[in-house]
Each structure stands twice: as structure tokens, then as C-alpha cells.
Amino acid sequence: MTIHSSFDERCYELLKLIPEGKVTTYGEMARALDSRAWRAVGSAMAKNKNLFVIPCHRVVRSDGTVGQYALGSDKKTELLQSEGVEISCGRVKDLGRYMHRFAG
């Protein structure tokens, strides 16, 4: 059994709020959690074992680069494209269009 930190659990709950066809960034998630720890957000994503319940594929880098994923960046790209997110050369095309910002 994997034990997650409270921060990780907060990240996972936040991720569940991102609708299909939208993405967010590590920094945006950190801000929504009242933190500047965007690297800790990345660490939480890397520890996610419930990939189909907790959609960590919807988190991208601040420049729109798709970034890493447990099943590989190609699979992350495929998942995002299947949700309608346009990807070109490994980046979300027009990040502002697909960006999900958290209320708060």
C-alpha cells in the first residue's frame, strides 16, 4: 500500500477538477494549493498510481511542452489528443485556449 502525503492528496483532488479537453500547468496547480512548490506537484504526479482515475496527463509545463508521463510522453500526447487538445511538436498548441485555471 502506498502512503501519499497530504500535499499529494490535495494535488490529486485538484486534478479531478480538470475537465477533458483542458490542461493546467505545474505552477498553476501549485498556486491553487497556495504553494510555490511546483516541483512538489511534479513529484506528486510521478507518484500517481491511479492514472485513469487521477488524470495527471492533463498537467503540462508552463511553456506548453507535454512533458513526462508514467506511460511515456507519446501516450500522454495520445491521451490529450483523444480529449481534443491540439498538440504540435510536443507542445500544446495555443495553451491559453486549453488552459484550465482554478477558481480562488
pLDDT band at 104 (very low <50, low <70, confident <90, very high): low
pLDDT for residue 1 is more than 60:
no
pTM of the full structure? 0.90
Kindly name the residue from 56, 59, 79, 80 that is annotated as catalytic.
56
pLDDT exceeds 60 at position 3: no
Measured between its terminal Cα atoms, the distance across the chain in Å is 33
pLDDT value at 82 more than 60: yes
* CATH code assigned to 6-98: 1.10.10.10
Q: Which of 5-9, 34-38, 52-56, 78-82 is most confident?
A: 78-82
Confidence category of residue 45, pLDDT binned at 50, 70, 90: very high
56 as an active site residue: the answer is: yes
Domain ranges of the chain: 6-98
R_g (Cα) of the chain, nearest Å: 13
32, 14 in Cβ contact below 8 A?
yes
